Amino acid sequence: MYTIKKIEILPDNSVYAEGYISDDPELFAGHFPEDPLLPGIVELEIVKAALESALETELDIKSVKRVRFRHTVRPGDFFSISATPGKKNRNAYTYTFTAEQIAAGSGIITIGNQK
């Protein structure tokens, strides 16, 4: 599906991650076989997975706000994620998902521990 190769927690508690999207046909099934692109829900899952790795705990997505998918993400693309916790709500991360050095998606993802 995807591989996260690098995770960092920065001094301001932001999370930075890098990885790549595989060319797994199941990941892109039904999402345009002639012109495959990553479904937006998978992009959100990758952001969640990066936060889980950085915070070393399993998380649930509680909400998403102001999500924008601005650029297509393709099989084989390299990506990076920057996610900054909110000042008032430390569980609400403002994120940017970049694919091949182009801002592909952004939004606010609120996470919480799995119960």
The reported pTM is 0.92
> CATH number of the domain that 80 lies in?
3.10.129.10
65: tokens are: 């706000």
pLDDT, residue 33, reads: 72
> What is the tally of structural domains in the chain?
1
Note down the domain range covering 22: 2-113
Residue 115 in this model has a pLDDT that exceeds 70? no
Sheet with 2-9, side-by-side order of all strands? 2-9, 15-21, 78-85, 92-99, 102-113, 59-69
Asked whether 38 and 27 are in contact (CB, 8 A), the reply is yes
CA dist 101 and 78 (Å) reads 8
Place of tokens 């996470």: 111
Q: Radius of gyration of the chain from Cα atoms?
A: 14
pLDDT digits (tens, 9 = 90+) for 54-99: 999 999 999 999 999 999 999 999 999 999 999 999 999 999 999 9
